[in-house]
Structures are given as C-alpha cells and as structure tokens.
Amino acid sequence: MTTMQPLKYKKRTLLQCTVLLISALMIAHGVSRGELETVWNKAVNICLECIGLG
C-alpha cells in the first residue's frame, strides 16, 4: 500500500497544477479581451446599488 501513496499524491499534484494553469490562462484571456473593466463596473454597481455604500 505504501507504493500507491506516492503515485496517488503525484496524480493529485498534477491535477492541481493543471487546474491552476488552466485558470491562469482563462484569467489572462479575459484580461486580454478587456473583460477586466466589465467585471470592475459590475462590482462597483453591486456595491453602489445593492449594498448601499454610495
């Protein structure tokens, strides 16, 4: 059983790294398309309208 643990750990680590890389690529793609401003404007509107900070 001890020989299976490192393999299981390696697979989990590989999966985590893959998900992290894909997430970073998707964020970079969104930023390159100009979505950052859209998300920021929506966040400001939520704060000003729904929560009542303005």
Between CA 17 and CA 11 the distance in angstroms is: 10
Question: What domain range includes position 15?
Answer: 4-51
Task: Report helix, strand or coil for 1.
Answer: coil
The pLDDT, as a whole number, for residue 15 is 94
The predicted-structure confidence for 3-38, as pLDDT tens digits, reads as follows: 557 778 899 999 999 999 999 999 999 999 999 999
Q: Which residue has the higher pLDDT, 2 or 14?
A: 14
**Number of domains the chain is built from:** 1
Between CA 47 and CA 39 the distance in angstroms is: 13
Kindly give, in sequence order, each residue whose CB lies less than 8 Å from that of residue 45, ignoring residues fewer than 6 positions away.
none
